[in-house]
């Protein structure tokens, strides 16, 4: 699960990572109040107004603007809140901004006095260890640094059983070319960042840029945090940070109904129990001359409610010309699923595409009988081959 910059920074701060302080605002008026408060608390005359969306590259897209007085705060916040922000990471349609972070300006007195670094912590799946990636080339696209100047990206692996060691934080600060107070502050920054990453069960923390200020303090200007979904049950406070406005609406609806759904570009919708069978079904659709419109695993306990939710999700896709339901009845009984299909069909009513149901396993014969006698425009099959032939037939 991804969270916003302002939420990521709250988490960082709670673990003692120094951050660029800020206050989130939903309206230009709130932004002005936030700027006044930042002046009181941190004596910052200038502030930056930062669009809060789940995508990076906001600076390039015009979503990060400096404001030198309260009039400018109001103006910039008015411009940014409500805008459709397009960045290299949002896709061409962009993302609508509904919140801004009003943050203290930390680049005083000017760019020549400050230095931007890149630091991220993530899991290296091939070695089974955590890894800190860091670079002197902060502030810009790290993919570009990796492509053109890969020797400027350093990696430090951390054995989770041993934890991050003092020599490693010193090595990182040294490789970043720091000395004196900035060196010391960087070692503290890295240690606190690593602690935050571990304690939150995160999949990734990416801080770009990490800034060395003109007075040699190290702080996080940005925060891209990705929490591990499988560990969210241990962190209800972080789970509550989820912003479903930032996610694909159909996938949000699917996850609310406990369905594993991924939208694809084809013309045959499919509803299957089990991920392996779902993939095999997608192959069958291709062999039959169609293209799968989605991946959808209804899980091991398909019933009328899940079947109906799955129908609704598949039917939202205007490209769908047919639906193939492929259920193997192991624990779940096929006649129950068949009844679920019939109930859902009747309840939704206006289903404009042919439906092919292949039920195999426990009570498959009863299930076929139920469907054949229902009087609905549903074709039933028991063998996979029959189902594939029916798909070809309805597409022809």
Pairing, β 322-329 against β 268-272: parallel
Residue 142, annotated as binding a ligand: no
User: Binding of ligand GDP at residue 23 (CB under 6 A)?
Assistant: no
CA distances from 340 to 201, 317, 354 (A): 38, 21, 17
Residue 66 as a binder of ligand GDP (CB under 6 A): the answer is yes
Helix, strand, coil percentages (3-state) for the chain, rounded to 5, are 40, 25, 35
* Burial bucket for residue 132 (CB in 10 Å: 0-12, 13-18, 19+): buried
The footprint of ligand GDP on this chain (CB under 6 A) covers a number of residues equal to 18
Nearest approach in angstroms of CB 222 to Mn ion is 3
Q: Which two tokens stand for residue 273?
A: 């129990």
141 binds ligand GDP (CB under 6 A): no
Given the residues 6, 156, 206, 238, the one annotated as active site = 206
**Choices 206-214, 318-326, 349-357, 363-371 (CB under 5 A): range interacting with Mn ion:** 206-214
Q: Does 117 sit near ligand GDP (CB under 6 A)? A: no
Site string for ligand GDP, 37-56 (x = CB under 6 A): -----------x-x-----x
Query: In whole angstroms, what is the distance from residue 59 CA to residue 187 CA?
Result: 28
Q: Tell me how far apart the alpha carbons of residues 26 and 77 are, in angstroms, rounded to a whole number.
A: 9
| 57 contributes a contact to ligand GDP by CB under 6 A | yes
Length of the chain: 396
200 binds, among Mn ion, ligand GDP, none (CB under 5 to 8 A by kind): none
DSSP H helices, 200-297, are 236-239, 249-256, 275-287
* Per-residue interface string for the shown chain with ligand GDP, residues 300-339, x marking contact by CB under 6 A: ----------------------------------------
The residue from 6, 107, 118, 238 that is catalytic is: 118
Q: 389 labelled as ligand-binding? A: no
CA gap 203, 200 in Å, rounded = 9
What six digits make up the tokens of 6? 């302002």
Question: Residue 208, interface with Mn ion (CB under 5 A)?
Answer: yes
Using DSSP's 3-state secondary structure scheme, residue 258 falls into coil
Q: Decide: is 116 part of the binding site for Mn ion (CB under 5 A).
A: no
Binder of residue 105, out of Mn ion, ligand GDP, none (CB less than 5 to 8 A by kind): ligand GDP
β-bridge partners, 326: 272, 358
- CA distances from residue 353 to 356, 376, 385, 391 in whole angstroms, order as listed: 10, 12, 20, 12
Q: What x-and-dash track marks residues 220-249 binding Mn ion by CB under 5 A?
A: --x---------------------------
Q: Taking CB under 6 A as the rule, does residue 227 contact ligand GDP? A: no
Are 49 and 67 in contact by the 8 Å Cβ rule? The answer is: yes
57 is in an annotated binding site: yes
Q: Which residues are annotated as a binding site for Mg(2+)?
A: 208, 222
Residues that bind Mn ion (CB under 5 A): 208, 222
- Please identify every residue annotated as catalytic: 118, 206
């Amino acid at each position: 699960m991804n969270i916003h910059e302002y939420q990521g920074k709250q988490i960082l701060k709670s673990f003692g990572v120094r951050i660029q302080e800020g206050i989130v605002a939903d309206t230009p008026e709130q932004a002005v109040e936030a700027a006044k408060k930042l002046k009181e608390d941190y004596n910052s005359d200038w502030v930056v107004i930062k669009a809060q969306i789940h995508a990076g590259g906001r600076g390039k897209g015009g979503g990060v603007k400096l404001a030198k007085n309260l009039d400018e705060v109001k103006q910039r916040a008015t411009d940014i809140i409500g805008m459709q922000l397009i960045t290299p990471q949002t896709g061409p349609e962009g993302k609508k901004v509904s919140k801004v972070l009003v943050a203290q300006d930390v680049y005083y007195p000017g760019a020549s006095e400050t230095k931007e670094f890149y630091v991220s912590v993530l899991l290296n799946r091939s070695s089974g260890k955590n890894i800190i990636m860091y670079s002197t080339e902060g502030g810009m696209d790290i993919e570009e640094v990796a492509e053109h100047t890969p020797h400027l990206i350093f990696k430090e692996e951390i054995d989770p059983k041993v934890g991050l060691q003092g020599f490693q934080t010193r090595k990182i600060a040294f490789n970043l070319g720091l000395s004196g107070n900035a060196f010391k502050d960087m070692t503290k920054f890295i240690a606190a960042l690593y602690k935050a990453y571990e304690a939150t069960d995160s999949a990734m923390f990416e801080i770009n840029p990490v800034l060395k200020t003109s007075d040699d303090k190290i702080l996080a200007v940005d925060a891209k945090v990705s929490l591990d979904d499988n560990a969210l049950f241990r962190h209800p406070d972080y789970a509550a940070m989820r912003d479903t406005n930032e996610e694909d609406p159909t996938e949000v609806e699917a996850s609310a109904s406990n369905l594993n759904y991924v939208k694809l570009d084809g013309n045959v919708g499919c509803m299957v129990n089990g991920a392996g069978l779902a993939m095999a079904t997608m192959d069958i659709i291709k062999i039959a001359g169609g293209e799968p419109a989605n991946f959808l695993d209804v899980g091991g306990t398909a019933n009328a409610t899940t079947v109906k939710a799955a129908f609704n999700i598949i039917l939202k896709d205007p490209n769908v010309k047919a639906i193939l339901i492929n259920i193997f009845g192991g624990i779940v009984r096929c006649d129950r699923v068949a009844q679920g299909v019939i109930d859902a069909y009747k309840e939704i009513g206006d289903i404009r595409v042919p439906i092919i149901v292949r039920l195999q396993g426990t009570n498959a014969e009863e299930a076929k009988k139920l469907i054949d006698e229902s009087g609905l425009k549903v074709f039933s099959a028991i063998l996979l081959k029959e189902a594939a032939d029916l798909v070809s037939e309805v597409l022809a």
